[in-house]
A and B are shown apart, each in its own frame.
Chain A
């Protein structure tokens, strides 16, 4: 089959791009390995200060309805197995999609924190817990502990509690040289403070304000109470680590220890606590294998979450005709992904000769991405602006 544009990934970026291009008259296909359209939107649920609850599954549903209304060919439960120049997209059920333009909107995946016991049933990634809880409406557990303190884990903790599960605490990962940023109490406090002004809901805002207290900042983790603090009834422990998860057939208990000023566990303080579920939050990284397979050039930008395909201000990679949008370009929120998708869909429409005053329309779409960034409430990556500048710089240096 021949299409003007093949979009890989039916999340906020991919669907927005497909809708934009199709509304300009392009023939578009979308491929996604999930049975449900929406990607990371499916689990999202948080309260926004001005507009009320952001219910990701409803946003996904309205995008999916537009996709259907515009006659876009949607291939759910299909995986891309290969991309050949220039361009042929092969799917695992045998379809061959031919196109001049591909958009890779493959999103992100979670980094693991391999705490001893992390493979025991009942231990899962924070994202899996979020989708089970908010999309499938099944509590991942009744007594849940969370490892890893970040914007996502704080938000999900709140969502779990809201739906009736008990979150017994949010803890640091075990101290580890590779995990210093997220396992060291002092660094954790600095990170939480950086979240304060951009917090998505009152929950995060509170977490941020507490740590912004000058006294706590200055004397930092040394005096931070072991007992933690409660946020909306959920204990947040900035000086306790989960060292191990135990259970014969499923997660039954966790071993926790106090963390000393220099970031080491105090072994005489080890305690055992009963749980039936442990959620691990290690942060997100861009999912970019397909861009790599297609020969796109990459850069490692820590501030964006990992390796990203180099791309122009028009979202095109170093491979002519292959575009990117959403979390594959760096870890940011769904609204930014949607704006990036619309930009990519606009640029492709222009290349196809479907726009009259393309340059002006593209400029507007670029401005909307910037606007979405300015208005972003959640900052998943503390230095995202620096990361974006580096991405632009790497692209400019190359060309």
Chain B
């Protein structure tokens, strides 16, 4: 999913850092959003709705729809689309997946 070489924007040169999502370790790039880092690792489901346990992911990308809420280092309901990754960040999806 990562665009390592772009015909106009050139090569990706950001530094690699590590994050965890639901306990698993993943590589992320410095400066990108949590949502972008997870998508680059093929993760689309960021939360499940409370009543019907429906999966939710990135929708608006500008922090308005709140569909991408995740728990970051213990803090609940952080918007993955407008929060930058940091090395060692522990991210967890919110809500319960259907049984």
Binding site for B on A (CB under 8 A): 33-36, 45, 53, 55, 77, 109-110, 119-125, 127-129, 131-134, 136-140, 142, 162-164, 249-250
Contacts and interface: CB of A to CB of B under 8 A. Distances in A.
B54 A119 contact: yes
A119 to B, nearest CB: 6
A136 B36 CA distance: 6
A249 B59 contact: no
Interface string B28-58: 0001110110011000111000000011111
Interface in B14-34: 31-33
B59 to A, nearest CB: 5
A125 B59 contact: yes
B36 to A, nearest CB: 4
A250 B57 contact: yes
A250 B32 contact: no
B95 interface: no
Contact of B60 (A36, A77, A125, A140): A125
A267 to B, nearest CB: 27
Contacts of B45: 121, 249-250
Contacts of B7: 162-163
Contact of A127 (B36, B60, B84): B60
Contact of B36 (A53, A109, A138): A138
A128 B33 CA distance: 12
Given A128-B60, A134-B9, 7 more contacts: A33-B82, A36-B84, A109-B60, A121-B45, A249-B44, A250-B45, A250-B57
Nearest to A125: B60
Contacts, number: 101
Interface in B80-95: 81-84
A132 B62 CA distance: 11
Contacts of A122: 44, 57
A128 B81 contact: yes
Contacts of A123: 59
Nearest to A142: B1
Contact of B46 (A33, A53, A121, A139): A121
B56 A128 contact: no
Return the 10 tightest CB-CB contacts between A and B, nearest first: A128-B61, A121-B57, A136-B36, A121-B44, A137-B3, A35-B84, A138-B40, A163-B3, A250-B44, A136-B32
Contact of A120 (B35, B55, B64): B55
Residue of B33, B60, B62, B83 with highest tally of chain A CB at under 10 A: B62
A140 B61 CA distance: 11
6 contacts: A45-B8, A109-B60, A121-B44, A134-B9, A136-B32, A137-B3
B33 to A, nearest CB: 6
Nearest to B57: A121
A161 to B, nearest CB: 11
A134 B66 CA distance: 22
Contact of B39 (A34, A138, A162): A138
Contacts of A139: 1-3
B3 A124 contact: no
A123 B83 CA distance: 20
